Amino acid sequence: MKTRLLLCLLVAAAFSMQQATAQNYIVIEDFEDPDGFVIPINNMTDGSVDDEDAFEVIDNPVPDGANSSDKVLQYTRAHDGNPWGGFWSNMFEPLDVGDMRYIHYQVWKPRISEVRFKLEKDHETFIEHASMDDQTVTDGWENMTFHFPDAEGEYPVIAVMPDFADPVDLTENIIIPMPKENIP
């Protein structure tokens, strides 16, 4: 059973935008398509991880009640990359946030760090927020919620930063979420 989380991410099972007053939502990406990503994934990590190696759809390493999806997006976080590492995507259809004020996704991370989400109209007009929920879990699924109360209109670009740390403060690359064979 899938929850209201629907665009899954690097660390996650799925992302969604949820209407503030109702339980309606739209799926941005759930990574279940056998032909690959529905949305284009563009790496903004830099550092020692090649673009083609930064993201991969994998089997959910721990499908459980918190995240029972079959597939998730795995992200290799470069130890020497940007603090804002993650991905951005030109949406096929801009997100209309007039009634949809919340973004949800689940994360599985090996360390505690800020999680951010950004909506962009263009390079000068954007809104970026940290999750309303503090990350409290490592090596387990956790829901992140992003509220955009002042957003209006359509946003054709999203950006996801699942491990926003400045400085990055890593000595080696980390994988979010861990492949099944590396889960204790």
The Cα 6–Cα 26 span in angstroms is: 8
Sign of CA dihedral 171, 177, 178, 183: positive
For the cut 50, the answer to whether the pLDDT of residue 2 exceeds it is no
Query: Which pLDDT score is estimated for 81?
Result: 94
CA pair distance 118, 148, nearest whole angstrom: 10
Paired residues of 130 in beta bridges:
116
Average pLDDT taken over every residue of the chain = 82
Residue 179 banded pLDDT, cuts 50, 70, 90: low
Alpha helices in the chain (DSSP H): 51-54
Q: Confidence class of residue 25 from pLDDT cuts 50, 70 and 90?
A: low
Instruction: With a cut of 50, say whether residue 9 has pLDDT above it.
Output: no
Integer Cα distance of 176 and 184 in angstroms: 15
The pLDDT value recorded for residue 178 is 61
pLDDT digit string (tens) for 61-98?
888 878 888 989 999 999 999 999 999 999 888 888 87
Per residue in 51-61, pLDDT (tens digit) is 889 999 898 98
The H or E element spanning position 176 is: strand 174-176
Per-residue pLDDT tens for 97-122? 877 788 888 899 999 999 999 999 98
Domains of the chain are 15-182 (2.60.120)
